[in-house]
Structure 1
Amino acid sequence: MATYFPALTIDAQTYTFDHLDPFSFSFHSQLAKRDLTIHVTYSNHCFSRGYVPEYHLVGEAVIGHGARARFFCATRYRLSLELPAVVASLNQPHVKVWQTAAQRNWVYSIRIENPEGPYHVFFEVRRAASDRPQDLNLVVESAYHQTEAAPKVFGRMGFMLLCSKIYLRQPITTKR
């Protein structure tokens, strides 16, 4: 089975991404009155940052091309090694996530020590097609440590409640 992201060699160092291969987890939804299975995938934003041609350094690895080009980011890559455990930790009754200002995705933020400060995991959850083995698809759209302004968010909701409401096609708006 091929890995989701191919290995990347930069300055004779090879970076592998098998830790970001898709995985699934389940929880019992009291609202849906059944176990729900969530299939998790990641975008390359978890280990890359936006490409700005005027800041491109000779030899710096570029991922993708054209409007989708991005720089490989060693810090995001290092932090991504723990990202599957962070995502799996959402599967707890006490975990709350914040609706972003875009209102289409959510953010889960934790404090990290290196680099010190908040680490934000942005994701979208959608109900899976009926022919899929999972009930929901969760795409980690980006994950990075905060270096500037905090993300703009609205209200918060329990992660399990959010997933249950999406599965049941119930409104997921939060208090503003």
Structure 2
Amino acid sequence: MYVQLMANLYNSDAKMHLLEPGPSRDLPTLHMLESMCVMDLPLRKRLQDGQAQEETQFAPNTGVIMFRLISAMDAIKKHIRFDLDREKYSLIQNGMVFPVTAASLEFRELGAHPEWKTTLGSFREHLSKRDPFNFLKVIFELLDEAQASGTEVFDINEGARGRGIEVVLF
């Protein structure tokens, strides 16, 4: 399902189909899918393509998007209780890497809402514990360094290259 969502991230009809109730959908899965769709909006707004800007001109502002994402994270956290032994939720936990990483780039919003940063931090900590290769630890360190530097724009690939590593994110 994760690959299906990523393949159709820019197809509105396909996204709506994935968000419809079905036999394989439960609330945590719905929250994960919603998180991925919500975090798509700020990324699309940043595109230089005029068509993408046209499509997102009526999209909610970043604060609204972040509020929806953080509330979905909070709901997931309360539902699965971050039980590391529950492989039942591995799709959801793996699927949250993209939204958590994208949300971590919203430095201004996180600075204005410390409670959001707390929720995001607990999610990042949980995801890092499930990462056997420390891939996420490196990503989160890069993001924290960028936020501490006060930069408004951060290219995670460039930051990773500076450490002699490569980061691949959808």
User: Would the TM-score normalized by the shorter structure come out above 0.5?
Assistant: no
Query: Is the radius of gyration larger for structure 1 or structure 2?
Result: 1
Q: Counting helix residues as a fraction of each chain, which structure ranks higher?
A: 2
- TM-score for both structures, normalised by structure 1: 0.29
- TM-score for both structures, normalised by structure 2: 0.30
Q: Counting strand residues as a fraction of each chain, which structure ranks higher?
A: 1
